[in-house]
Amino acid sequence: MIVTDLSNSFNPCPKNTQNNSKKNVKKSEEEFCIMPKSKLYSTVRTEIYCERHEVYFSKAYRQKSINDGLIVFLAKESHRGTNGVHGKNGDKLNRQLKKLAQKAWCKYYNKTKEEFIKEYGKANN
């Protein structure tokens, strides 16, 4: 049996660089936010408020929140910390953001509470 070394005859497939360029473009674009200004969060990404939070973040509503401008920028602790919106003690902040988002959405899009419920499943009074 003759064994031939073929390792030099194969070239690796080039990586798809298109996905990487899309990510870079997405980060540099201005992110659309209709939320009112607040001391709890920022409406633009800054050095301190660097983590984007989609107010309605479940699988069904994440992209809808982004498209509708229901995003805020939080400090790391306010986002992922114990008292942050995704932390074990963050329910109060999460509910507060949802109430503000509902009011902002209804005002910006000139819609009713019932229309909000159709879009996002429930109202946050």
The candidate with the shortest Cα–Cα distance to 100, out of 23, 41, 12, is 41
Q: For each of the chain's 125 residues, which pLDDT tens digit applies?
A: 676 666 666 555 555 555 554 444 455 457 999 999 999 999 999 999 999 999 998 888 999 999 999 999 999 999 999 999 999 999 999 999 999 999 999 999 999 999 999 999 887 86
pLDDT for residue 16: 57
Q: How far is CA 24 from CA 14, 20, 21, 40, 70, in A?
A: 19, 6, 5, 28, 22
pLDDT for residue 59: 84
pTM: 0.73
CA-based R_g, the chain, Å: 22
The domain ranges of the chain are 30-120
pLDDT for residue 24: 44
Residue 105, number of CB atoms within 10 A of its CB = 23
